[in-house]
Chain A
Amino acid sequence: MSGTVSRNHKSSGVWRTFRKQKIPQTFAILGIIYLLIFSYVPMSGLIMAFKNYNISLGVMGIFTSDWVGLKHFKAFVNDINFWTIIRNTVALSFLKLIFAFPMPIIFAVMLNEIKQNKIKRCIQTISYLPHFISWVIVSGLAINFLATDNGLINQMLIALGLIKDGIPFLTSAGHFWPLAVVLDVWKDMGWWTIIFLAAITGIDPSLYEAADIDGASRFSKILKITIPGIRGTIAVVLILALGNLFGGGLSGSNFEQSYLLGNAMNLEKSQIIQTYIFKVGLSNGRYAYATAIGLIQSVISLILIFGSNLVSKKVSDTSLF
């Protein structure tokens, strides 16, 4: 009897709290509905990865076609492109994590050290503007600037006598990874700097004042106050970046870069899981096979996000969940 009263009391308490928060809760519910419709409902299509599905069977064929177990997964592992695709996806993703992830942090710290506000704002604006240019435009610019024969960069280098023949930035496999990382940093470093700058603004100014009194150098203040002060933000952003590691980390640009800048000459370094899924799934119509490949990537990403969250929790006491 007392248990029922307590439960009723508890549920009316939850309802009362909910009613008090009805506006923010409405927004949260909207987000949940969005996720349900666009993220969870389509997940039912994942069973296609284990079925002998083809498009002529229609949407219901996803559920009614024959089960084939791990056939598509085995086919992917035996695909002649398997190791190349995995290597490219992992290498490109880790290179971006290594180079593109620390850059906004370093840049934010450097910007924070600029005392003239006008210059600071000007640099910040210039650095985050490329974020608003789509990858289609960026790749078009890259093709025009970096072409071997008549690209601006090569013509300039040749005119300066630094090179004799144009560098095949776009047509050699060896140049693809550096090119992708550099473009990624250029495009999105400024945007992510905003997050870290905001975190730096939240650091208690009295810590800097105390450090000044103690005679700490600028570099010491960065190392002892600024970096530890934004450690939590760094951890959260790192977890998010790891969760989307195969998508290209912070910028999520792997597909766009590989699709738009990839060509027959650099394919051995530019073909990644996502472009391969796009090719076999949509161009060749092998939807079940493409779903199986996509599922493999999703499972690895899920492991990465849980793993990094766990590590972050243990190391820095900061985690997403």
Chain B
Amino acid sequence: MLSEKVKRKVSSILAAVLVITSLAACGSTQDAKSEGNAGSTANTAAAGSAEKEPVTLDVFIDFPWYWTEKFEGIIPEEITKETGVTLKPTRAVDDTQLGIMVASNDLPDLVYTDKLFDRLSSSQYSYAWDDLISQYSQDFKPSDMAIKTAKSYATDDHFYTILNAAASQEEWNAAKAGCPTLASLLYREDILKELGNPSMKTLDDYTKVLGMVKQKYPDMIPLVLDQTFMLSIFKTWLIPNWCPGNSQLMETDDHKLIHYTSSPEYINFLKYANKLYQNGYMTADNFAYKDGSQATQLVVNNKAFSYSWYTGSTSDQMTDMTRKNGFADATWVQAQPMVDNAKYVTLGTGWAGVFITQKNKNPERSIQLMNWMFSEKGQRLTQWGREGTDYTMGDDGIPKFSEDWITARGDENVFYTKYNPAYYFGISSVTEAVGRASGVSQNSLDVMDSIRKNLKLVISPALAAPKEDTDEKVVLDQINEYIKNQEVKVVLSASDADFQKNYDEMTATLNKLGVKQLEETLTKAAEELK
């Protein structure tokens, strides 16, 4: 038995340990920062003599849907071989995580995001790329447009990132194949055949087909929506000039910058989507899914006739996955535009960017990594794999992939485990699109061609969007937050009377929130940019 004295001593020690642990927890961030800075100095000093010295950098991937959170597979191994950098990725749990990390200044070495550009484009959180380039990577020459875009997010005259997936109209006009990643509608060709191959050229045709599906296959949901793209394809087709992007702004034909809900054609989209719901062609549950896999499960398990997703090899992937689940005849194809003069609008400014944070252990190697990522070699390796093994360059400028690559691409899980082409932080959207166009079915190619030919690039919805911490940004956030929920309410109205009531409520609230004044201000800002 322990004596009373010993017990007291043990209790006191335990108490002291508890205090120290609590205080140590408070101080851990500071310690980590100190270590990081120390590492930076040491690596900087050593960099000249040992450029490829192995470095591990933490990267936060701000996309909860991202294909992978592992830096494993053939391509990551090659990236490490080429650059000496191993990435240690963390995938976001939800859209708010980065905001919390910024608020607590608990940032990793690198942040890959399509949000919070304004906040991260500050010397408080990130290293300026122009400073790092002049110091460590003088041969890195981003385009003037890319620099202008990146500078538009900063309040000083520096740029803190370069966005990937950017390309000019000229580059797209010269592209041999492919199209940007945009919304697309996939459907089951085999089921359409079973229905007697009815026409699917217009939205009316499509709606009729959905009715036939509902009648003949009661266990099947006529239309399933991907959690990210949701109803985007119908916005593309029914709201001319609708532009996908976080700001939800679009440029009209007369160069005004408006919120897409102000488009006169917005009501057409809402009415059409509501018709789909009222007829039972899509479910309310689909709007409550918390992760994308719920929709995918329906699609690959023969529970969906059509699927709102995105362009590329998506229909081929779904075909493979559905067939692997035992539905041997399943064939997914992509629909051609179902409206006349369809215009596919996209931001020419790019999509997501890497920020080299002030917590970065090795800014020198980080900027050199980004330089390599934006190089032609880096872009091709991160998206197409190893030249000569995974692909060979065709005379037409389109890569020809190996059988193994094409087979793996048919199953997302296999593809992102074996090859893992997810670390394309410096990709141009043309390189990406050309790669995605190679080896896909003729149907996918045709759809991509028609989208590319009807492509319209805009920049003002990105460059003239209001900056963080401005009154305009507060209003825009309020509008977008309101629309995110109210639009669903309108679309899921149970009757025409409900629809009208919810729609009237929405327009009244938008006016109350100040959408018109905001558009006037932003249009002026867009004009000044020119």
- The residues of A with any CB-CB pair to B shorter than 8 Å are 23, 26-27, 30, 33-34, 37, 54-56, 58, 80, 140, 143, 147-150, 168, 170-171, 260, 263-265, 267-268, 278-280, 282-287
Contact = CB atoms under 8 A, between A and B. Distances in A.
Contact of B284 (A168, A260, A278, A280): A168
B95 interface: yes
B487 to A, nearest CB: 8
Contacts, number: 96
B290 A80 contact: no
A263 to B, nearest CB: 4
Contacts of A260: 290
A88 to B, nearest CB: 13
Contacts of A54: 468-469
Contact of B102 (A23, A55, A150): A55
A282 B285 contact: no
Interface string B114-127: 00100100101000
Given A26-B15, A54-B469, A282 B99 contact: yes
Given A30-B18, A80-B509, A263 B287 contact: yes
Given A171-B288, A282-B99, A265 B492 contact: yes
A278 B95 CA distance: 12
Interface of chain A: mostly helix, strand, loop or mixed: helix
Contacts of A55: 102-103, 119, 469
Given A148-B283, A171-B287, 7 more contacts: A23-B8, A33-B19, A37-B22, A80-B512, A263-B287, A265-B284, A279-B481
Given A26-B15, A55-B119, A285 B96 contact: no
Given A30-B18, A58-B124, A168-B284, A264 B119 contact: no
B288 A170 contact: yes
Interface residues of B, number: 43
A283 B98 CA distance: 8
Nearest to B491: A264
A5 to B, nearest CB: 33
Contacts of B124: 56, 58
Contacts of B19: 30, 33
Given A27-B15, A171-B284, A285-B468, A33 B22 contact: yes
Interface of B: 8, 11-12, 15, 18-19, 22-23, 26, 95-96, 99-100, 102-103, 116, 119, 122, 124, 155, 221, 283-285, 287-288, 290, 468-469, 474, 477-478, 481-482, 484-485, 487-489, 492, 509, 512-513
A285 B466 CA distance: 14
27 contacts: A30-B18, A37-B23, A37-B26, A56-B119, A56-B124, A56-B155, A80-B482, A143-B288, A143-B290, A147-B285, A148-B284, A171-B287, A171-B288, A171-B492, A264-B287, A264-B484, A264-B488, A264-B489, A265-B284, A265-B288, A267-B485, A282-B96, A282-B100, A282-B103, A283-B95, A285-B103, A286-B474
In the complex, which of the residues A264, A279, A280, A286 has the most CB atoms of chain B within 10 Å of its own CB atom? Answer: A264
B153 to A, nearest CB: 12
B285 A170 contact: yes
Contacts of A150: 285
Contacts of A147: 285
Contacts of B489: 264-265, 268
A279 B488 CA distance: 18
Contacts of B477: 280, 284, 286
A317 B512 CA distance: 52
Contacts of B485: 264, 267
A69 to B, nearest CB: 17
Nearest to A53: B469
